[in-house]
Amino acid sequence: MTVAPELAPLVSVPERARPFVPQAPDRLASVTVLHPPRTVAATPPLRLTRRGVLAITAAVAALGGLLVWLAALSAPEHGAAPAAPQAVTVQVGDTLWSIATRVAPDRDPVAEVAALQRRNHLIGADLTPGQVLRIP
């Protein structure tokens, strides 16, 4: 029997002085599978032949001609001016100014109001609904 362990002094090693021994984790490693990117088939740029350019030009010109033709059909004729009414019946809410601008939209309303007053022998601007005014 040896006496050495019995004579060895009892030494306690502090926690910080002990060497680090890693403990086994639950999972050893995670595996990530990397895939190369998908190769997309490169499409060549669109090229128009001379015939294609002519076809597109003809289609745009035909569409433009169609639009001009439709606009000409919907435009009013220049020579036909609407006939001005000879008399106007006063409605509720009408004033001399509103009647003057309705009857002669291209003339000065002040002059037209004065002409309405002269033609219909009106002293003021009072109108009654149902009253018939002669248009100058």
Indicate the residue type of 70.
L
DSSP state of 15: G
Task: Kindly write down the DSSP assignment for every residue of 26-57, as one continuous string.
Answer: SSS-------PPPPPPPPPPP---HHHHHHHH
Structure tokens at 24: 């086994």
CB neighbourhood size of 99 (10 A): 20
Task: Determine the average pLDDT of the residues in 26-48.
Answer: 79
| pLDDT grade for 44, boundaries at 50, 70 and 90 | confident
Give residue 2's pLDDT: 56
Contact 127, 136 (CB under 8 A): no
Domain limits, the chain: 93-134
pTM of the model: 0.39
Q: Which residues contact 95 (CB under 8 A, 6 or more apart)?
A: 125, 127
pLDDT tens digits, one per residue of 48-72: 899 999 999 999 999 999 999 999 8
